[in-house]
Structure 1
C-alpha cells in the first residue's frame, strides 16, 4: 500500500458553493489552499442541474427589517436555531452577495421580490442561473489563483489529528491512488446527506461523509432529525425540482388509479383548496400547518401500496397567464429545458429528500471545537433550526464559507504543519476499521438497502415501529459488512468507506428521529403528532465518546 504525500496550508473538502467561497476567502491570506472534491469542482446541491436557478434572501435596506427577519427566523426555527449565527447571517448576507461576481457567479435581483418559504414578508431575493456558464467561469477563476490547487474525484477517507488538532487527511482518487495530505487547518464544506434516501434532489456525492469525518475527529452534530423533503418529479423527468408556487393553480391530486388522493386523508374541517393554497407557500414539507396533509397523503399512500411512481396533478389553465417572475420563469424553464408541459404532459410527483437543516456544530468563527477544523455550508447545522427560510441555505454557504476561510487562515498562520510520514498514514488506515467481522454483503448492496429503508421509513411520516425496524435492519446489514476487507485493494476502498459512512450516519439519523418523541417542523411523528415544548424545546446533540460509542443529549 503506497501513499503519495501532499502538503498544503489549508485543506478545503467539498466542491459546492460553500467550498468555493471558503477557498476564495482563504486564498486572500496568501497561504496555500488545496481543494479536494468527491466530484468535480462546482458540484453538489448548490449546482444541482435539475432546478432552474438558485437564490438567497436578504433583509431589505430598511434597518428595521433586520429585526423583523430575526423574529421570523426565530418563529420558523421553533427554538432550534443558533441566535448568534442567525444575526451574523442577517448582518452580512448583502455584502457576501455583492461578492458573487468575483467568484464567477453573476446574479440579479428578482423583480418585485417574493415571500420566501416560511417567511412572513416579501424580501429582496437574489438569483443566479445558467449552470454551465457559472461552472466554467468559477472554475477558471480558481485555476487562475497561484496559491490554489484542485483535486477532483478524490474521496477523503479519514482525518489525522496530532496533539488534538488537525494535521491532515487520507484520500483516494478514482484510479485507486492513495494520498496523505498534511495541512495546518481544514474546512469541511461537504454538503448534506440527501443521497442516503433512495429518491432525492441531490447529486450522488451528497451522502454525509463530512458529518462522519467531523464526528470521528471529535466534533458534535446537532438537529439531525430536521430534514427537508420537497416534492420532486418521478415522471416523466426523474428528480426535477417541483415548484410549490404552482400548487395555487392545482385543481386535483390523483393516485395511479385516478382517484382523488387528498380526499382520503384530509380532515372534514379542511378542504383540498385550503390545503393546496397553504402548501403553495413553501417548498419544504412542514408539520406545522395544514399543508402537511398534502405530503402525508402521498407518503402514506406509497407506504400502503408500495407504488413509488408518484401522484398526478391537474391545473387551472390560468397558470399560464400568471406573469409573476417566480411563476412564469419556472413554467417556461420546465417546458423548454425539461420538456414538461404542465397542462398537457402527464407528470407525477412524490416527497424527495432535499436538504438537511442539521449538521456539525459550529461557532461564529465556523470552528467545530476541534482545533484547526472548520465547517461551512449544509454540513454545518447550527444556524437554521427546524424549518429553514427559503434561500437561507445558499446564503449561509456565502456568509459562513467566507468566515470559515478567514478563520481557518488565521489558525493556519498560528501553527506549524505537522509532518505525516507514510507509516503514520498506513497505520491510520489499517486501524480505521474493525477487522474481526464477517463480510457477507457488498458495499453497493449495503448502500442500496440503506437508501431504500431510509426513504420508506424516515420520510415525512415517521413512527416508532418503522424507525426501529429501519435502524435494526441497517445494524444487521452493517454487522455483515467489513470495510477492512477492502483496504488491501485501492480500487474498492472508496466505495467501502462510502458504505461505512452511510450505515453509521443513517443509524444516527434514525436514533435522533426516535428520541424526539414529538412533531416539530419537518420532523413529524404520527405517534406523537403534537409539538411538546415542555419536554423537547431543546436541541439534540450527537457526539462520539472515547470508547467510540455515540452519545445523544438534549441541551
Structure 2
C-alpha cells in the first residue's frame, strides 16, 4: 500500500525564480488554478542570487534597435541561435518590464546611460536601454501579486518524475521534506527550475540550481539543446566564498600566485600582451573562447589546478577601484562593503565559478516542448541565446518566456482538463517505486565526486583525455544504483534520486562537450582551439523509451523568424 496525498490543479509550475513566478502569475490571470512548486523557497535561483547586488536587464532603444540586437545575439551566439526565439525575446522585453512596474517593482535607472560605458552589456557593441533589478525591493511586490491571484505555493517540495498519459502530460510525483509523497494531478506543467551550475564544485548558484528540471524533461520525452555552453565567471574563494567579482575592474588588477608572482607571465603565449588582454577582459563577465581575453581565464583556471591546496589566485588592485566612475562599479562596491563587509583592498582570492547555463530544454516561441502539455522557460531552456549570451538578456528571457509559458500552459489546461482517475495515479506511483533505484553508497559522497570531476575537467579548459576520464569515473558510479527498496526503508530518498540525476546529467554534459570537437563561445577545447564551420550545428539530446540517451547533430535555420 502506497501512502500518498493527491493534489489537483490546472497548471503546475516548477521553480520559484522570475521565470516560474512570471509563468504562474500569467496563468492565474487566465482564470485557471495554478500551483507553484519549489525545491527550496520562493524567490530562489539565479533571479534572486544572493552573491551579487542585483541584476541588469537590457532592452532595445527603439524599433530599429530591435533588428540590431537580434543580429548581435546571433553573432555573439556563434550562429547556434534559434532566431525566432530571439525575435520573440527582443520584441517583448519592454512589455514585461512595464508589467513589473505596474505591480510596483521599481528599477534602478542610470542618469547618463550613453556616458556610462560600464552599462554596455557584456559581449555587446553598444548601449541599450538598461534597468537595474534589485532583489529586496521586488520580493514583497511580487509576493503580494502572487497572493492576490490565489496561486498556491508548495515550498521544499521536490518533483521526482513527470507523468504522461497517452503521450501527454498528466501529473507529477513529488516528495516533501518529511518524505511525504504527493501526486500533483495537472493538465499542464511549466518547468522553470533554472540551469545546471550546481553540478560544479565552485558555482555561483543557489543549492536548488542543479539541472534536475532538465533531467525531468528529458525523461518525459523532451529534447535538450546547447548543453555544452555554460558560463564561467570569476568569483571569490576568499574572504567570502561565492561572491561575484566585478569584471569591469580587471584592467586595474594583477593576478598572483601565493608567492606574489604574476601568473599571466607564466601562461600567456609570447605574442599576447598582458595589459591588452586584461583591458579586453574588463568588458565582459563570462569566459569566452572567441576573444584574446580567454587567456586570462585559462591562466586563472590552470593556476587553480596547479595548486589545489591554495585553490585560487590572488586578486590585487593597483588603484582604489571603489571610487571609479560607472553605475555598475559604484553599485557593486557599495554592496560589497555594506552587505558583504569586504573592501576592495582586502586579501581576495578568486577562481572560475560555474554560473549561467546557455543551453537547456528545447522550446518554440510559444514555450512549448515537443511533448504536449509540457512547457519550459528561463535558464532551464536553450536556443534563444546560442553559445555566448549578451549581458542582461538572461533575466529578460525569464520574464518574456515565463509569461509566454504561463499563457500557453493555461490555454492548454482550459482545453484539455485533466481527468485521470485514482487507478491511473496508483499505477504510476507503483511503477515509479518499483523501478526506483537507490545507491549502496552515501549519495552525498557521489554528488561531491561528480562536482569535483565536473569542475576539474568540464570547466574553462576541456580536452578529450580529461572528458573521457571523467566519463569513465562517473560511469563507475552508475553501478552504485542497483538497490531497490520500498520508500519506507529509505530515510532520505530525495538525496538518492538527486545523486542519480547528478550522475546521469553530468554524463550527458560531458558527452556533448566531447562531441563538439571545436572551440565556440564558452566551450573551449584546448585540443581543438578554433571554431570550425562544420560544427555550426546544434547537438540535440533525447531519450528513447528504452532509456537510452541519443545525441544528434542538427543544422541551424539561419533565417528562421
TM range (shorter): over 0.9
Match among 319, 329, 333 for residue 331 of structure 1: 333
How far off its partner does 1:134 sit? 2.7
Among candidates 144, 147, 152, match of residue 143 of structure 1: 147
The answer to whether the Cα contact below 8 Å between 2:164 and 2:170 also exists between their aligned partners in 1 is: yes
Whether the 8 Å contact between 1:228 and 1:356 is mirrored in structure 2 is yes
1:470 positional shift: 0.7
- Cα 1:99–1:308 shift into 2, 3 Å: farther
CA 94–483 in structure 1, closer or farther in 2 if over 3 Å, else same: farther
* Shift, 1:307, TM fit: 3.6
Residues 21-40 of structure 1: CA deviation (Å, up to 9, x unaligned): 00111011010000000011
Q: In the alignment, is the contact (CA less than 8 A) between 1:76 and 1:387 conserved in 2?
A: yes
TM-aligned CA distance change 1:270 to 1:253, over 3 Å: same
TM-score (norm 1): 0.96
> Paired residue for 2:393?
392
Q: Structure 1 residues 335, 428: CA separation in 2 closer, same or farther (over 3 Å shift)?
A: same
* Corresponding residue number in structure 1 for 2:169: 166
Tell me how far apart the structure 1 counterparts of residues 58 and 435 of structure 2 sit (CA, whole Å).
Answer: 42
- 1:269 pairs with 268, 271, 286, which one? 271
SS of equivalent to 1:427: helix
Change (3 A) 1:83 1:67: same
1:205 paired to 2:208:
yes
Partner of 1:515: 515
> Following superposition of structure 1 onto structure 2, how do residues 299-338 of structure 1 map, counting pairs within 5 Å?
299-307=301-309, 309-338=311-340
| SS of equivalent to 1:99 | helix
> How far is the alpha carbon of 1:333 from its aligned partner?
1.4
1:8 counterpart residue number: 9
1:59 — aligned with what? 60
1:477-496 alignment to 2 at 5 Å? Answer: 477-482=477-482, 484-485=484-485, 487-489=487-489, 491-496=491-496
**What aligned pairs does 1:532-547 form with structure 2 within 5 A after superposition?**
532-533=532-533, 535-547=534-546
> Quick one: distance in 2 between partners of 1:110 and 1:383?
27
Aligned to 1:433: 436
CA shift for structure 1 position 103: 5.3
The Cα shift of 1:478 comes to 2.0
After alignment, is 205-214 or 478-487 more displaced?
A: 478-487
Q: How does 1:489-504 map to 2 (within 5 A)?
A: 489=489, 491-504=491-504
* Match of residue 340, structure 1, among 329, 339, 342: 342
Query: 1:34 and 1:491, CA in 2 relative to 1: closer, same or farther beyond 3 A?
Result: farther
Q: Using the alignment, how far apart are the partners of 2:303 and 2:133 within structure 1?
A: 36
1:240 lines up with 2:239 in the alignment: no
1:220-239 CA distance string (max 9 Å, x none)? 00000000001000000000
TM-score, reference length from structure 2 = 0.95
Shift in Å at residue 536 of structure 1? 0.4
Match of 1:231 in 2: 234
Aligned length: 546
Whole-Å Cα distance in 2 between the matches of residues 430 and 504 of structure 1? 19
1:122 aligns with 2:121: no
Name the residue aligned to 1:100: 100
Which residue is equivalent to 1:551? 550
Taking the aligned partners of 2:398 and 2:93, their CA distance within structure 1 comes to 10
Unaligned runs of 5+ in 1: none
In structure 2, distance between residues paired with 1:202 and 1:143: 27
What is the CA RMSD across the aligned residues, in angstroms? Answer: 1.5
2:255 to 244, 253, 256: 253
1:242 Cα offset (Å): 0.7
* 5+ long unaligned stretches in structure 2: 114-118, 555-561
Q: Counterpart in 2 of 1:349?
A: 350
User: What is the CA distance between 1:111 and its match in structure 2?
Assistant: 3.4
CA distance in 2, matches of 1:483, 1:281: 51
Indicate if the aligned counterparts of 1:443 and 1:481 stay in contact, CA closer than 8 A.
no
Query: Helix, strand or coil for the counterpart of 2:492?
Result: helix
The structure-2 alpha-carbon separation of the partners of 1:489 and 1:134, relative to structure 1 and needing over 3 Å to count, comes to farther
Work out the CA distance in 1 between the residues paired with 2:48 and 2:483: 31
Q: Aligned partners of 2:530 and 2:31: how far apart in 1?
A: 53
| Distance (whole Å) between structure 2 residues aligned to residue 483 and residue 386 of structure 1 | 39
Are residues 103 and 464 of structure 1, via their aligned partners in 2, closer, same or farther at CA, if it must alter by over 3 Å?
A: farther
Contact 1:162 1:418 in 2 (8 A): no
The 1:182–1:503 alpha-carbon spacing in structure 2 relative to 1, beyond 3 Å, is: same
Cα distance change, pair 2–314 in 1 and its aligned pair in 2 (3 A) = same
